[in-house]
Amino acid sequence: MFLEQFPAVERQNGWIEVVCGSMFSGKTEELIRRLKRAEFANQPLLLVKPFIDNRYHIDNVVSHQGSSLKAQVVANSKAILDLWSNEQIVAIDEAQFFDDQIVDVANQLAMKGVRVILAGLDMDYKGTPFGPMPQLMAIAEYVTKVHAICVSCGNLAQFSQRTASETDQVLVGAIEKYKPLCRTCYNKLAH
């Protein structure tokens, strides 16, 4: 379980948090939970999401459970720096969809004293590391891996099995295109 630990109040103490896991594991729900706590404490924040993620709402970050927060939609990671106006917290949903520059953006913001929170899939539907997520996890002070429940056997699920026939790495979707599986059930259906 992730324990939020805050360094001294001075702004020069920024850090990076990554929330990762499979589809339906609660990544966005956890991101929103952390942000709602920060909002309650009147901490200024910037929430962004990639333009490709328009599943539930065009300009809100929305969890599969229906929790929602207003976000800025960006086309690339550099745009996050352009939007940042000294907020204490910068949160980024669906980080796996960003270009590799997201790693540098997160580092730059943390060096400016920002609490950077990124949520995203750690693996694609083939079970391989997804986009910049491995690098983000490596540079983060805090990494929280959340799990779904395997729809086949009920164990903890860490894989996102694609049920649609498309084979591109990026296929935005929800329950109609993916299901969470544990390692054993996922490997039974190995590609």
Can you tell me the mean pLDDT for 37-60? Answer: 83
Nearest 5°: the CA angle 172, 187, 99 is 35
- The answer as to whether 128 is a domain residue is yes
- The C-alpha atoms of residue 135 and residue 162 are separated, in whole angstroms, by 24
- The C-alpha atoms of residue 153 and residue 57 are separated, in whole angstroms, by 32
- The answer as to whether 77 is a domain residue is yes
In tens, the pLDDT along 5-40 reads 555 555 568 999 999 999 999 999 999 999 999 999
Question: In total, how many domains does the chain have?
Answer: 1
Q: Which residue has the higher pLDDT, 167 or 178?
A: 178
How big, in percent rounded to 5, are the helix, strand and coil portions of the chain? Answer: 25, 25, 50
- With a cut of 90, say whether residue 155 has pLDDT above it: yes
Our answer to whether residue 94 is catalytic in this structure is yes
Q: What is the model's pLDDT at position 64?
A: 59
Least confident of 32-36, 59-63, 95-99: 59-63
- The answer as to whether 157 is a domain residue is no
- The answer as to whether 82 is a domain residue is yes
pTM of the model: 0.85
- The answer as to whether 67 is a domain residue is yes
- The answer as to whether 31 is a domain residue is yes
- The answer as to whether 76 is a domain residue is yes
| CATH number for the domain harbouring residue 71 | 3.40.50.300
Residue from 10, 39, 94, 166 carrying the catalytic annotation = 94
- With a cut of 70, say whether residue 165 has pLDDT above it: no
pLDDT category at 177 given cuts 50, 70, 90 is: confident
DSSP 83-111: H--S-SEEEESSGGGS-TTHHHHHHHHHH
Q: How many helical (H) and strand (E) elements, i.e. helices and strands, does the chain have?
A: 5, 12
* pLDDT > 90 fraction of the chain, expressed in percent and rounded: 71
Q: How many CB atoms lie within 10 A of CB 106?
A: 30
Report the mean per-residue pLDDT for the chain: 87
Pairing of strands 15-21, 148-149: unpaired
Least confident of 23-32, 54-63, 168-177: 168-177
- The answer as to whether 176 is a domain residue is no
